[in-house]
Chain A
Amino acid sequence: MTQSAAATSVTRAADALERLPSPSSLLLVAGAAGLLVGSLRSEVFAELTVQGLALGAVYGSLALALVLVYRATRVVNFAQGELALATTYIAYQLIKWGLAYWEAFFATLAIAFALGFVLEVVLLRPVQHRSVIAAVIVTVGLFILIDGVVNWIWGGDFKALPSPFGTKIYHLGNVSIARLYVGMLAVVLVSVLLVWALFRFTKLGLAMRAAALRPAESALVGVRVDWMLAIGWGLAAVLGAVAGLMAEPSQFFLDPTLMQPILVYAFAAAVLGGLESPAGAVVGGLAIGVSLNLVVQYVHPITSELQTPFAFAVLVVVLLIKPAGLFGHREVRRV
């Protein structure tokens, strides 16, 4: 009797410990509070924060695409950025053919899904079961191939898409916020929420999660694992397309190198969040977007040339302290 009561109280204590927020989430809350205080005290700080969040949302969206592919197939998809680039060019072409911006936007998402799906079935499926490194090299090959095709079809010169959000600027006290940034943030966050809802509330989403976590067992209960992986690639391509379409207005033009720096930051974001964690990828993206913007403004030894090396130095330090990223789970291996 007393023994079992003691056992219960021990479990309770353990539960309470579990329920305490993790150091990572405390860090995030502290970071958010810092941003809020800074924004209230200085207009420039607030403007940079909003801009950083908008850019960070783009990184986060591409990072989420990487995470989806990684969770499903253990492959880091180097071609994710170029895939997003290709779909952005497709949107450009559709608009040139006379579609309105938002018609082209949704048509592009559909095309992106088909493209991701087909690429997985045709190119990745044959190598997937043989070796991860071969699959990764296939995506590197795709990176080079898509880059070449985009250059070949559309050329290397700057193109421009019509602005989806206009040039309106809101004023909040003394802080001016471009409608563009609000729109970018909204579009990315809505897409991310939709993907999350798909995974959380639909039968398809459940099957996809099952296929990613326990392929053999889910095949036994009737999940078509192969098709789930292909759908995962399709969804990742859709998120990438959203990232590409939202990156274009922030850079004000479209050229074949648009997505390369964004892919680099998306990698950083995905790793920062812990490659396994979708929420971590989005949070990581926002954190990187904001901190890059603020650091270049306020820390003078870090000039814009050092922006990327600085981001990576921070990333490596985070990895050294938490080798599985902020929200990743440490892999436990049995020998």
Chain B
Amino acid sequence: MRRGLPELVSLVAVCGVLAALPFLLSDYNVSLAARVGIYFVAILGLNILTGYSGQISIGHGAFMAIGGYTTAVLSRDHHTNLVLTMLIAFAICFVVGLLVGLPALRLSGVYLALATFALAVSVPLLTLKWSTFLGGRDGVQTSRTVSHDWLYGAAWTASAILFALAWLILRGRIGRAFRAIRDSEVAAVASGIELPVYKTLAFGISAAFAGVAGSLFVLGTNGFAAPAEFSVFLSLQLLVGAAVAGLGSLWGVLGGAAFVGLLPSVSSSVPVIGSEHGRDVVFGAAVVFVMLLLPEGFAGLLARLRVVASSGR
């Protein structure tokens, strides 16, 4: 109870700030804030997989691509309601995630990381092969584009719903099973946890979150899904976000999402280096330094602050 109350207060405060933001910010900044929301959803999903069930993935950009193309193709061919396409993306990516989770059962650690990396590299290339359906290099355009405010609302509503969902999943039986697997697979099996079920489930849930993020991501690029948007770099960014957030913490995700969503845009206005390269130089250097200073990410920082605060009281 004593820990619950401050968390509830900060939750309400965060929601209040997020609800007020679109009225305070300029149009461009609203689109940036929406982008943070999109990364929030994706990193949340990755965190469920990597932070809670201990399976690393460098391939979540691939699930975002699948979600994004689901939205784009459905909207192009059937003029489907965009919110509905997000739900469909959620479902499709859940199934794809389960399927990817099956071979992942045999792999762990670095080998799993590289197998998912393979996924991140391969999926965008598949769009080039089936170019009549998936648009090839030119990409797919949705039949309808959305305003920045709409996107902001959609991104943060999805964030709130999925955050609640993640919290519900992780606090209960499933979450306990995930954490048990992360801490020791042998001990988890010995306590009667069915490893294949929960490991693939973690992949499915995580991929479904990434799928919704992918749908939103496509809407954020003016409804345009192209292979270049879903390059390996996106997957690496998500991994960076999850690490900066701190694995195994839901609160840190906000920091991780802001880091990945805002820093590249902010740092492109660095005067000395020039816009486009400056972004990479500053972003790369920031990633290195944040990891040197906060190897446990924002979650580690929060935990330390909490210790300081409670000892001061």
Contact = CB atoms under 8 A, between A and B. Distances in A.
A152 B277 CA distance: 5
A319 B279 CA distance: 37
A313 B288 CA distance: 32
A303 B129 contact: yes
A127 B300 CA distance: 14
Contacts of B118: 268, 312, 315-316
A308 B125 contact: yes
A148 B291 contact: no
Nearest to B295: A134
Given A308-B121, A309-B125, A78 B284 contact: no
Contact of A151 (B107, B111, B121, B277): B277
26 contacts: A123-B292, A127-B291, A133-B56, A133-B247, A134-B243, A137-B243, A140-B239, A141-B240, A141-B284, A141-B285, A144-B283, A145-B288, A149-B277, A152-B274, A264-B117, A306-B125, A306-B126, A308-B122, A308-B125, A309-B125, A312-B118, A312-B119, A313-B122, A315-B118, A323-B106, A333-B186
Given A130-B295, A267-B117, A148 B107 contact: no
Interface of B: 56, 103, 106-108, 110-111, 113-115, 117-119, 121-122, 125-126, 128-129, 186, 232, 236, 239-240, 243-244, 247, 273-274, 276-288, 291-292, 295-296
Nearest to B236: A140
A335 B188 CA distance: 12
Q: Which of B106, B121, B286 has the most CB of A within 10 A?
A: B121
Interface residues of A, number: 46
Given A134-B296, A152-B278, A335-B186, 16 more contacts: A127-B292, A131-B296, A140-B236, A140-B240, A140-B287, A141-B240, A142-B288, A149-B281, A152-B281, A303-B129, A308-B125, A309-B121, A309-B125, A319-B106, A323-B107, A333-B186
Given A151-B276, A275-B110, A308-B125, A137 B186 contact: no
B121 A264 contact: yes
Contacts of A78: 236
A147 B280 contact: yes
A126 interface: yes
A148 B283 contact: yes
Q: Which of B111, B244, B286, B291 has the most CB of A within 10 A?
A: B291
A81 to B, nearest CB: 11
A289 to B, nearest CB: 17
Contacts of A308: 121-122, 125
Contacts of A333: 186
A156 to B, nearest CB: 9
Given A152-B273, A267-B114, A319-B107, A123 B288 contact: yes
Contacts of A264: 117, 121, 232
A323 B243 contact: no
A290 interface: no
A134 B121 contact: no
A309 B108 CA distance: 21
Contacts, number: 133
A101 interface: no
Contacts of A148: 273, 277-284
Interface of A: 70, 76, 78, 123, 126-127, 130-131, 133-134, 137-138, 140-149, 151-152, 260, 264, 267-268, 271, 275, 303, 305-306, 308-309, 312-313, 315-316, 319-320, 323-325, 333, 335
Contacts of A320: 103, 106-107
Contacts of A145: 280-281, 283-285, 287-288
Contacts of B287: 137-138, 140-141, 144-145
Nearest to A261: B121
Contacts of A316: 103, 115, 118
Contacts of A152: 273-274, 277-278, 281
B277 to A, nearest CB: 4
Nearest to A304: B128
A264 B126 CA distance: 16
A64 B110 CA distance: 16
Interface pairs A-B: 8 shortest CB-CB: A148-B280, A145-B284, A141-B287, A144-B284, A312-B118, A148-B281, A309-B122, A152-B277
A192 to B, nearest CB: 22
A138 B291 contact: yes
Nearest to A303: B129
A177 B104 CA distance: 42
A268 B276 CA distance: 30
A260 B118 CA distance: 13
Contacts of A151: 276-277, 280
A126 B240 contact: no
